[in-house]
Structure 1
Amino acid sequence: MQVKRRIVDIMANIDNQELDNLLLTEEEERELTQQISMERIKNRAMNRIQEEETMVFKNRKVKKYKASIVIAAAMIMILSTTAFASQYMDSLKQFFGQSASIAEDERSPIQGTDTASGVTMNVEEGVYVGNSGYLVVSFMKEDGMPFPEGVSIPLLELKTEQSVNYMVGQQLLDDNKKLVGVFEMDAMNDLEGLKARITADRIMSADNAQVVEGPWNVEFTISPGKQREQSLNLAIDEGEEALSLNTVSVSSIGVAIEGKRTDGELDKLPDYTPEVMVIAADGSELKLHASSTSTTKNGFQWLYNLDSKNNLVFLGDVDIKSVSIDGNVTELK
């Protein structure tokens, strides 16, 4: 079976800012984020992708990526030097940027730790939608000192009791005092109650010298936070593809739509993706684009979490009332 995957990261990269001891107001944070140049980030990303690989892909079923995955992956490869004080944003917001709004009741705190050679690995939390989600892990020195510029973990891995496809990106944050890894996952089955383990071998410098010897190992059980799920009974007949959609799930990280093929091609993922919009309580509409089509136990799942420019969209600040799929509106309870 095919599995298409892509990961998108919108990062803030602000030069020449010294903010360690500065308490920022909301207005100051707004002014800082306005300095972001996405063209500069893309240019740096394309240069960096030729030099090193800090993105680890752990999905052997991958068949094809969209063209935009090259820039998206490269942007995650950049080790960010954003200097926002940690009290103003958590690891997930630091990793993805100011747009990463996550509703508090959708977070799944884990806080499992392991310490080796004076460095503590903390499996912080997860956030999920449908059979997809993010897991956040961070590494910090016990003495609070920064890591050398450009460090990364060659073998940062997620191990589970059932098949889970994933990719992981790494960034240095908080003036290099925190090394953060974010796993993007797609599972065959519901993630609820899944037993998992995150392992790391060692921390290496940009020139491939060992900086910190591991290993680190944290076991935990995934307990997804709140997400809104609604049953569907929607048939789609598009060209040679006939599909039946049965579930739509909504959380801060996107909209997941599950279904199966009814045209006899059960071993193939659909090429078609419907037009999807989320409709807020105030009547405003937001069109989302699919980032992936992945295999599930009973069929397939579309994950919608991109805007028209392939930027990642977070929905934590949107009071979603309903979801429109090819014009068919489903009210969320």
Structure 2
Amino acid sequence: MQVKRRIVDIMANIDNQNLDNLLLTEDEERELTEQISMERIKNRAMNHIQEEETIVLKNRKVKKYKASIVIAAAMIMILSTTAFASQYMDSLKQFFGPSASIAEDERSPIQGKDTVSGVSMIVEEGVYVGNSGYLVVSFTKEDGKPFPVGASIPGLELKAEHDVSYMVAQQLVDDNKKLVGVFEMDAMNDLEGLKARITADRITAADATQAVDGPWDVQFTISAGKERELNLNQAIHEGEEALSLSTIHVSSIGVAIEGKRTDGKLDKLPEYTPEVKVTAVDGSVTRLHASSTSTTESGFQWLYNLDSKNNLVFLGDLDIKSISIDGNVTELK
């Protein structure tokens, strides 16, 4: 039986955090964002998630998540009723927080729009690494009025011409005047040129009563932004697993490593994840932890985008010199 799990479903029973002292001046708004404790948010999420999960995603593709990525998703959802000053942040920063640094040349603008019942759905942009990525969609009222507290979209869906698995999370921002959804995607093939559409059925209030009638539908073609891609020729033997790594992708949202099994167990995802370190030009070293292992057409992909405390890591502000995989260094510069 196919199981449909979304971030919003996983975290349905977690209480929302409300931020105090939301003020209006620029200095005070910046100070407010500095007061947000992601460690506190993570600790609340960890009370609800204690073990690894295997999630069967859309289109029958299996993606194995560590507890760490579910915790990271939890951190996002706990902020679901938090208001940020949108004039100082883009949608990704509103959603993930001020640490979400994305290099401009890695953004893939879409700006597809559909307006129904006085509400505009805009598929804003995407950012990708390897066969993974984020798609950002937002909903706003044409008259500028806020949505009801706790508003959400029960049927926010991504459909594509090829096999794409995803989870989607939503949150209200900008004093409830903007409802943002972020799709976390994994595809069997390269995302470049993929024809897709995002649909939404209706917007409901916290009590599940209908607030705005849809539907909305935006079709678009993905044009992946710039990322660094390098060929690998690295073999890994760990326990009974034998793996061959072929490609490494680097972008602002993490490091994706592609490979295949050479032990004959092609129908299984590897349990092992290597140690990955990012070294910057200034000599600083960041160790990344794997958030997921997913299926690709030729084998598997590891996605590294977490730190040791299970916080999401964004690399947009880091001038990366090299990537180390179990001590084997690949130079980017």
TM-score scaled by length of structure 1: 0.88
Counterpart in 1 of 2:53? none
After TM superposition, the structure 1 = structure 2 runs for residues 298-309 of structure 1, keeping only pairs within 5 Å, are: 298-309=298-309
- Percent of aligned pairs with the same residue? 81
Closer/same/farther in 2, CA of residues 315 and 15 from structure 1, 3 Å limit = same
Deviation at 1:72, TM superposition (A): 3.7
Counterpart in 2 of 1:291? 291
Counterpart in 1 of 2:312? 312
Which of residues 15, 31, 38 is equivalent to 2:19? 15
Aligned partner of 1:269: which letter?
L
Contact 1:112 1:220 (C-alpha < 8 Å) held by counterparts: yes
Contact 2:29 2:85 (C-alpha < 8 Å) held by counterparts: no
User: Helix, strand or coil: the match of 1:32?
Assistant: helix
Counterpart in 2 of 1:85? 85
Closer/same/farther in 2, CA of residues 103 and 215 from structure 1, 3 Å limit = same
After TM superposition, the structure 1 = structure 2 runs for residues 202-241 of structure 1, keeping only pairs within 5 Å, are: 202-241=202-241
Q: List gaps (5 residues or longer) in structure 2.
A: 50-55
Contact 2:153 2:204 (C-alpha < 8 Å) held by counterparts: yes
TM-score scaled by length of structure 2: 0.88
1:66 and 1:74 map into 2 onto residues whose CA distance is 13
Counterpart in 2 of 1:125? 125
Deviation at 1:37, TM superposition (A): 3.7
2:243 and 2:82 map into 1 onto residues whose CA distance is 45
After TM superposition, the structure 1 = structure 2 runs for residues 1-333 of structure 1, keeping only pairs within 5 Å, are: 15-19=19-23, 21-22=24-25, 24-25=26-27, 28=28, 31-38=31-38, 41-42=41-42, 58=58, 60-62=60-62, 65-68=65-68, 71-78=71-78, 80-332=80-332
User: Helix, strand or coil: the match of 1:34?
Assistant: helix
Contact 1:244 1:260 (C-alpha < 8 Å) held by counterparts: yes
Aligned partner of 1:17: which letter?
N
Aligned partner of 1:139: which letter?
F
2:210 and 2:48 map into 1 onto residues whose CA distance is 21
Aligned partner of 2:132: which letter?
S
In the TM superposition, what whole-angstrom CA distance separates every residue of 1:224-280 from its partner, at most 9, and x where no partner exists? 110000011111111211111110000000000001111111111111111000111
User: Helix, strand or coil: the match of 2:133?
Assistant: strand
Aligned partner of 1:309: which letter?
K
Q: State the Cα RMSD in Å.
A: 2.7
Q: List gaps (5 residues or longer) in structure 1.
A: 50-55
Counterpart in 2 of 1:52? none
Contact 2:108 2:127 (C-alpha < 8 Å) held by counterparts: yes
Contact 1:48 1:77 (C-alpha < 8 Å) held by counterparts: no
In the TM superposition, what whole-angstrom CA distance separates every residue of 1:23-55 from its partner, at most 9, and x where no partner exists? x14xx4553233224465357658999xxxxxx
Aligned partner of 1:16: which letter?
D
User: Helix, strand or coil: the match of 2:322?
Assistant: strand
In the TM superposition, what whole-angstrom CA distance separates every residue of 1:113-167 from its partner, at most 9, and x where no partner exists? 0000000000000000000000000000000000010010000000000000100
Aligned partner of 1:15: which letter?
L
Counterpart in 1 of 2:52? none
Closer/same/farther in 2, CA of residues 43 and 245 from structure 1, 3 Å limit = closer
1:45 and 1:259 map into 2 onto residues whose CA distance is 32
Deviation at 1:321, TM superposition (A): 1.0
Deviation at 1:13, TM superposition (A): 5.9
1:63 and 1:329 map into 2 onto residues whose CA distance is 27
